[in-house]
């Protein structure tokens, strides 16, 4: 860095640094930035006494004296509102407020991640949770209108499930053939694993009247047992017992999660946890008869 002054140079944070005369972002000079008044804010924003910057680039329409961070990538000054350093066209700074989960509004409009929600009513707009929102007429999921949802009767069931008077929804999608009037949450769904979303689906062979959530991914009805919505393949589901550690058994077979263990005696199976304190801090789990 040819022009940097070593004796006064210091690192600030988030890639910013300065010396007595200049300000730097990731090793490059920020042109015309005032080192004496420069300060790092949050969310990629910085300012000096005269200008506001976003990730090292000046924001020519922002007023440094009235600039403030709102959070969730939003900011504003006395006249304008910004999202990730860009002006939100026609947003009212005086009435603008943050709602959360990427949503915001002013007295007239609703925004999602800085973009105008054309069909949303600001006066009745509300956050429901699980990325759902609604106003008096429409329901939204992650900023998109759910066309088949009734806003007046749209409510939370639990575990990420919602319903109106006619349909049941999960992750913004209608669950085919689900009955809204009788639908209830059993607590066995896992909405997201390692960033992947799993949309609820019907367990075709399950008997609803006798269906029971056993925990740890297992469930049963009068005739069969299931692991994470898949039939395990054995009969006599009423006899299934959870042993712990991913193991389960009925009167004939033993299972580890979705796999059937061969040549085991299920009536006498115990789970033995053997701790080897001097084996590199490892725990060993074994199944024994």
Query: Which band of pLDDT confidence, cut at 50, 70 and 90, is reported for residue 272?
Result: very low
pLDDT for 258 equals: 63
- List strand residue ranges (DSSP E) for 77-223, in order: 81-83, 86-87, 97-100, 103-105, 110-112, 115-116, 126-129, 132-134, 139-141, 144-145, 155-158, 161-163, 168-170, 173-174, 192-193, 196-197, 212-215, 218-220
- State how far the Cα of 272 lies from the Cα of 266, in Å rounded to an integer: 14
Mean pLDDT of 253-267: 64
pLDDT higher than 90, residue 154? yes
Q: What is the pLDDT of residues 86-122, one digit of tens each?
A: 999 999 999 999 999 999 999 999 999 999 999 999 9
Distance CA 248, CA 17 (A): 59
* Residue with the larger pLDDT of the pair 121 and 254: 121
Q: What is the pLDDT of residue 257?
A: 67
Closest residue by Cα to residue 255 from 263, 266, 243, 247: 247
What pLDDT sits at residue 90? 94
| Mean pLDDT, rounded, for 48-59 | 96
Q: How far apart are CA 260 and CA 232, in angstroms?
A: 8
Q: What is the pLDDT of residue 162?
A: 93
Confidence band of 179 (pLDDT split at 50, 70, 90): confident
pLDDT of 274 > 80? The answer is no
Model's pTM, two decimal places?
Answer: 0.65
Cβ–Cβ under 8 Å, residues 160 and 141: no
Mean pLDDT score of the chain, rounded to an integer? 81
Q: What are phi and psi of 174, to 5 degrees?
A: -70, 135
Residues 25, 14 contacting (CB under 8 angstroms): no
Q: Is 18 exposed, middle or buried (0-12, 13-18, 19+ CB in 10 A)?
A: buried
Q: What is the mean pLDDT of residues 70-74?
A: 95
For residue 83, what pLDDT is reported?
97
In the predicted structure, residue 286 carries a pLDDT above the cut 50: no
Label residue 253 by pLDDT band (50, 70, 90).
confident
pLDDT at 250: 72
Q: What number is the average pLDDT over the span 115-144? A: 96
- 183-214 pLDDT, tens digit each: 877 665 443 333 333 345 556 666 666 666 67
């Amino acid at each position: 860095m040819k022009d940097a002054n070593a004796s006064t140079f210091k690192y600030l944070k988030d890639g910013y640094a300065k010396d007595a005369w200049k300000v730097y972002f990731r090793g490059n000079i920020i042109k015309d930035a005032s080192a004496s008044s420069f300060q790092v804010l949050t969310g990629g924003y910085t300012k000096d006494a005269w200008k506001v910057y976003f990730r090292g680039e000046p924001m020519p329409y922002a007023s440094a004296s009235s600039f403030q961070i709102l959070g969730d990538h939003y900011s504003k000054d006395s006249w304008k509102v910004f999202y990730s350093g860009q002006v939100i066209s026609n947003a009212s700074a005086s009435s603008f407020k943050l709602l959360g989960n990427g949503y915001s509004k002013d007295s007239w409009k609703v925004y999602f991640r800085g973009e105008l929600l054309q069909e949303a009513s600001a006066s009745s707009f509300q956050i429901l949770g699980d990325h759902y929102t609604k106003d008096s007429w429409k329901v939204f999921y992650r900023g998109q209108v759910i066309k088949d949802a009734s806003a007046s009767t749209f409510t939370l069931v639990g575990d990420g499930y919602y319903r109106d008077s006619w349909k049941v929804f999960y992750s913004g999608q209608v669950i085919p053939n689900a009955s809204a009037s009788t639908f209830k949450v059993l607590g066995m769904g896992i909405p997201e694993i390692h960033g992947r979303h799993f949309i609820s689906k019907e367990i075709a062979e399950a008997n609803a009247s006798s269906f029971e959530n056993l925990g740890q991914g297992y469930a049963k009805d009068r005739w069969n047992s299931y692991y994470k919505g898949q039939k395990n393949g054995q009969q006599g589901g009423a006899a299934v017992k959870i042993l712990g550690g991913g193991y389960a058994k009925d009167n004939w077979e033993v299972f580890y999660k979705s796999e059937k263990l061969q040549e085991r005696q299920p009536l006498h199976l115990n789970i033995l946890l053997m701790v080897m304190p001097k084996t590199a801090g490892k725990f060993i789990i074994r199944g024994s008869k």
